[in-house]
Chains A and B, each alone.
Chain A
Amino acid sequence: MKKSFFKNIFIALVFTFLYLPIIILVIYSFNASKMNVLFTTFTFSWYKTLFYNKDLLEAFFNTLIIAATSTIISTIIGTLSAVGLNKYNFFGKSLILKLIYIPIVIPEIVLGISLLSIYTLTKLELGMFTLILSHIAFSIPFVIVSVRTTISKELNSIEEAAKDLGASPLKTFMLITLPIIKPGVVSGATLALTLSLDDVVISYFTAGPGSNTLPLKIYSMIKTGITPDVNALSTLLLLATIIILTVSTITQSRKVVTK
């Protein structure tokens, strides 16, 4: 009894540690005082001011656009690459297989400055385009790795079976491979989306004037002073995350049940 009690306490403490900063932000988003120190009275006013904070909203929408675009593109390229790298041999394949792990392991800052350097070298103007390109750059390897986990030897023979029955490579991919590797594609896309929404470091180097993202906006606000509408926005973001996560969990578990 006692032992399991302490064990549960430990788990609870870990979760407290993980959730404390978020909960604090949620609480303060309803605090009338601007100072984030004492909770005075309950208010929704920060949610109202949020809608008039043009800078913050613009940064937020930029973040969404970048995340959506880079997720779609990196998921498509990553999925095709994972399948192609599994299926075909070509000159330089071993080099490519080594290169794709680099963005996963090297510190983000190194990727950030090297991308900045190459953009400067090629006179690419920093802005939304470079941001999206950079987010694609660090997301693709994660999608590839995630899709690879669902590619097995059996898949190879299943693809061969389709070929044997007269399916063209494109048809095999669309009708056979894609449905089978779907879990890997979905988790890869989720990962890409998360990484993009969360990214600070690479955006920090590859954003140009006028292409603020939410994290960058908050970063600069932390230095100049944060307004409580940031708390409100964070709360809304958190709420959206939880809803998406719950819905996806429920639909996934439903599928398991119906199967």
Chain B
Amino acid sequence: MEPIVKLENVSKCFEKDKYVVKDINLEVKEGEFLTLLGSSGCGKTTILRMISGLEHVSVGKVYIDGVDVTELDPTKREVNTIFQNFALFPHMTVYDNIAFGLKMKHVSKDEIDKRVKKIIKLVELEGLENRLPSEISGGQQQRVAIARGIIMNPKVLLLDESLCSLDLKLKRQMQIELKKIQKRLGITFIYVTHDQDEALTMSDRIVILNHGIIEQDDTPQNIYRYPKTVFVADFIGESNIWPGIISNINKEIIGVKISDNIEFAVSKKDLDKVGDKINILIRPENIKVSSNTLKNSIEGTVKDIIYDGAISKLFIEVIDNKIFKVNTHGIVNFKENDKVFIQIEDDDIIPIRGKKHEEK
């Protein structure tokens, strides 16, 4: 199937040779909820603005539904944007805000009325038609912003950090609602955020960006479970990451040393050879702690304990002064300086070979 949005070697520089976005290739499938995730300045908003046409493309091509729109004015692109802070027209009522796009298209009054009423029902804003944006709640404002975008029947809806100004509780609620609306409408959503939780909750696919380059492009599950780069591992969730070196290769298993006395065994890949640098990732929730020795366990000392509601965070120092972050559910019975044993399943030891390795 033809991708609904396609970026082909797209780059953007605002000043000469200073790339904000560099050589991006991206295909978005129809009906997909795609999230561009990254910290501020990673180029995610710039990519979104190049799709909407609000920003010019320096190099490369943008296709929407198979048509090259690289030089097309935003007013003529069949995409709409939900802006950060919603950018509602403060002097217009909810109704006029939603009707604005259709008025610009010179749609007949009756038609506008019909469609606006339908959308208002869809996003559950009945009764608020004549209020000004300042007179409704943040959640309602967001629904107006979405209604204003989707009434144009866009092929793609672009959302620029559209939830970040809401408070936590409302944000959670709106995340679910947004996902629901997307499913109901079947419109492709491209969502930009710096909030990893948001990305993991809502997306079908996540693209992680760093300094204008795609670090990883995968499903939320795979991104969390098998990050391809140290950056991704660090950015998504909590992690224990250690640089290591392949010390020996034994058929399908390789040994990775992270210090003089700690070696992890992971499965081999084709190009691995002794002396290669490999990073080891272990998620804190995948480490078991016990006061008794377990099979293949490492002995350590509890250095610090932080209670964080549902989970307890333990910092356990083992041989060679390595400290493991460990998350356990509920309250633990350990105290500081207690002797403990930690155990990690083989499957939970994730090697990160770095980008070069992947491309080969």
> Which A positions have Cβ atoms within 8 angstroms of B?
154, 157-158, 160-168, 171, 176, 179-180, 259
Bound complex: CA A162 to CA B148 (Å): 10
Residue ID in chain B nearest A153 by CB atoms = B85
Bound complex: CA A228 to CA B83 (Å): 63
Contact A163 B54 (CB under 8 A): yes
Taking CB atoms, residues of chain B closer than 8 Å to A165 are 80, 100-101, 104, 148, 152
Given B75, B84, B152, which contacts A157 in the complex, CB threshold below 8 Å? B84
Bound complex: CA A187 to CA B80 (Å): 35
Bound complex: CA A164 to CA B89 (Å): 13
Residue ID in chain B nearest A178 by CB atoms = B91
Cβ of B81 within 8 Å of any chain A Cβ, yes or no, is: yes
Question: Number of contacts between A and B (CB, 8 Å)?
Answer: 55
Taking CB atoms, residues of chain B closer than 8 Å to A162 are 89, 100
Cβ of B87 within 8 Å of any chain A Cβ, yes or no, is: yes
Taking CB atoms, residues of chain B closer than 8 Å to A167 are 75, 100, 104
B136 to chain A, nearest CB (A): 14
Contact B83 A166 (CB under 8 A): no
Contact A164 B91 (CB under 8 A): no
Q: List 15 A-B contacts (CB under 8 A).
A: A157-B85, A160-B54, A160-B87, A161-B81, A161-B87, A163-B54, A165-B100, A165-B152, A166-B75, A166-B101, A166-B105, A167-B104, A168-B104, A179-B91, A180-B90
B45 to chain A, nearest CB (A): 11
From 88 to 118 in chain B, residues with beta carbon under 8 angstroms from any chain A beta carbon are 88-91, 100-101, 104-105
Bound complex: CA A165 to CA B54 (Å): 12
Cβ of B142 within 8 Å of any chain A Cβ, yes or no, is: no
A169 to chain B, nearest CB (A): 9
Taking CB atoms, residues of chain B closer than 8 Å to A176 are 89
Contact A160 B83 (CB under 8 A): yes
B134 to chain A, nearest CB (A): 8
Bound complex: CA A115 to CA B52 (Å): 47
Cβ of B60 within 8 Å of any chain A Cβ, yes or no, is: no
Cβ of B74 within 8 Å of any chain A Cβ, yes or no, is: yes
Residue ID in chain B nearest A163 by CB atoms = B74
